[in-house]
């Protein structure tokens, strides 16, 4: 096996999305390398790989580069099937995916509106401007304060849903497993994030007395991760130039895929396309030749700026848009 399984995780440590991947790798005991990134653009290491996608994290395995944590987790489940954390029964798989969709597409939007305006990051104009461009909403403190009550209403509903339904029977983990499963990772992360953020949730309505089962579940999960950290391999930390060199000199991790001839978009192998997320970070679009297309994933070939070697960029289909482009069109951001 290649050093650190050929995996390089590009992230910053306080990203709640990156934490999903770190938790998974830790709970599985999978060896990996990391390349720490700034929380705001520019991210020169990722740019050197030829990637325009701006969200964190991204994960490379060899010269295959995976964007969006949903796709990253699916790929890790496929690549390391022995001891996988995903559900095996159809009804549990459905619940697992529903939790993923609920938290990524719903809960996190409201959770992000509860970052306390007293935090130092709100005093950093570079950071707030970056997030305004990224999320498409104001990060001015008066606007943040004005939006908190509505966000708290929704977050209270989310807490109550967990407390009164899935956790109501006293189960340890959401699928009644013996250890935390992928469904727990999908479900817990925005609640864990807010519970650990001083000033995010008013204790009068979000204290442990209000939602004892939810907080007990968060505490169990935190303990399980800390215990796993004791035996899991420590990530190898690569500097930016090191990581870029490692990725661009590696082999591809995945064999040639197919282009679905029945896909409604009617795209052809080798056609020039661009692909981008439509929920956030939509101004940053990857462009290249279509390499593979399935109902779940699009893969395009582009060139890294370092060494000009081809890389394969993988995007999920969910909440991403793909369109054919002229090869001679001007570059996107």
Q: Over the stretch 242-273, which tens digit does the pLDDT of each residue have?
A: 999 999 999 999 999 999 999 999 999 999 99
Confidence of residue 330 (pLDDT cuts 50, 70, 90): low
**Cα separation values, 7 from 70, 245, 279, Å:** 16, 13, 27
HEC readout, 252-276: ECCCCCCECCCCCCCCCCCCEEEEE
Cα 54 from Cα 72, distance rounded (Å): 15
Cα angle, residue 216 at apex, residues 213 and 221 outer, rounded to 5°: 125
- Centre a 10 Å sphere on the Cβ of residue 247 and count the other Cβ atoms it contains: 28
Query: What's the pLDDT score for residue 306?
Result: 84
**Cα separation values, 245 from 26, 44, 160, 213, 261, Å:** 25, 13, 48, 47, 36
Residues 6+ apart with CB under 8 A from 41: 54, 130
Query: What's the pLDDT score for residue 333?
Result: 46
Query: What's the pLDDT score for residue 52?
Result: 98
Mean pLDDT value across residues 163-186: 98
Query: What's the pLDDT score for residue 328?
Result: 77
CA atoms within a 13 Å half-sphere pointing along the CA-CB vector of 183:
22
Q: What is the average pLDDT value for the chain, to the nearest integer?
A: 96
Residue percentage of the chain with pLDDT more than 90: 95
User: Nearest to residue 135, comparing CAs of 316, 281, 299?
Assistant: 281
Mean pLDDT value across residues 289-307: 96
Whether pLDDT at 332 is above 90: no
Instruction: Report yes or no: 193 and 226 within 8 Å, Cβ to Cβ.
Output: no
Query: What's the pLDDT score for residue 105?
Result: 96
């Amino acid at each position: 096996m290649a050093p650190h399984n050929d995996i390089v995780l590009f992230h910053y440590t306080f990203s709640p999305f990156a934490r999903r991947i770190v938790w998974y790798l830790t709970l599985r005991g999978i060896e990996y390398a990391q390349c720490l990134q700034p929380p705001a653009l520019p991210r020169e290491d990722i740019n050197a790989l030829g990637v325009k996608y701006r969200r964190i994290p991204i994960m490379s395995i060899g010269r295959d580069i995976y964007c969006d944590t949903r796709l990253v987790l699916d790929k890790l489940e496929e690549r390391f099937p022995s001891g996988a954390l995903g559900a095996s029964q159809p009804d549990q798989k459905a619940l697992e995916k529903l939790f993923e969709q609920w938290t990524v597409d719903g809960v996190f939007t409201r959770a992000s509106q509860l970052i306390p305006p007293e935090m130092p990051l709100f005093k950093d104009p570079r950071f707030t401007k970056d997030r305004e461009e990224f999320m498409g909403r104001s990060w001015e403190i008066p606007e943040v304060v004005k939006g908190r009550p509505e966000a708290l209403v929704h977050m209270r509903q989310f807490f109550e849903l967990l407390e009164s339904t899935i956790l109501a029977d006293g189960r340890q983990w959401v699928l009644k497993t013996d250890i935390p499963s992928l469904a727990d990772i999908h479900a817990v992360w925005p609640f864990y994030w807010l519970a650990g953020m001083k000033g995010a949730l008013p204790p009068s309505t979000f204290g442990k007395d209000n939602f004892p089962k939810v907080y007990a579940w968060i505490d169990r999960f935190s303990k399980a991760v800390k215990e796993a950290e004791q035996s899991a391999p420590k990530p190898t930390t690569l500097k930016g130039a090191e990581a870029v060199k490692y990725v661009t000199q590696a082999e591809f991790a995945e064999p040639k895929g197919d282009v679905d001839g029945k896909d409604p978009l009617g795209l052809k192998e080798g056609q020039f396309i661009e692909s981008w997320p439509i929920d956030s970070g939509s101004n940053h679009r990857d462009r290249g030749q279509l390499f593979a297309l399935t109902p779940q994933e699009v893969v395009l070939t582009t060139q890294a700026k370092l060494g000009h070697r081809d890389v394969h960029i993988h995007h999920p289909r969910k909440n991403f848009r793909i369109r054919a482009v002229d090869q001679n069109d001007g570059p996107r951001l």
